[in-house]
Amino acid sequence: MRLYDLFYGAMLPSGNDAAYLLAEVFGLLLFYESVKPESKDYSEIESIDLTCYDTTTTFINRFLKEMNRKAKELHLSKTIFNNPHGLANILNVSSAKDILLLSKYCCANHRFREVMNCE
């Protein structure tokens, strides 16, 4: 499955499984960058020893850390992400203003608009 297809899956009403998979993949890439910051060659990624990780929680948490860092960068002062899909969770918080700012930021990306406008 292509990552691009997962973006469509994440936008579906029940797409939290796709959101988790995207978080795992991008979390792994973020983890890889922290281990080998000098390398942007992702073809080497299979050489990372992942045997010490029994789950993908490490990668999902790394992705969530980046989501929260980006929220601060975008001045989403009332937003904290605790899962990658945004479904109800008492630890996920935001405000209408923050959601509007995030939506405006996301809509500046033509790929996001393409997926969002899919019927």
| Domains by residue range for the chain, with CATH | 3-116 (3.40.710.10)
| Residue partners of 102: CB distance under 8 A and separation at least 6 | 71, 74, 76, 79, 94
Q: What is the mean pLDDT of residues 50-74?
A: 86
Mean residue pLDDT across the chain: 82
Please report the pLDDT score of residue 44 as a whole number: 59
**In which band, very low, low, confident or very high, does the pLDDT at 14 lie, cut at 50, 70 and 90?**
low
Query: Quick check: 117 pLDDT over 80?
Result: yes
Q: What is the mean pLDDT of residues 91-106?
A: 94
Q: What distance in Å separates the CA atoms of residue 37 and residue 55, rounded to the nearest whole number?
A: 23
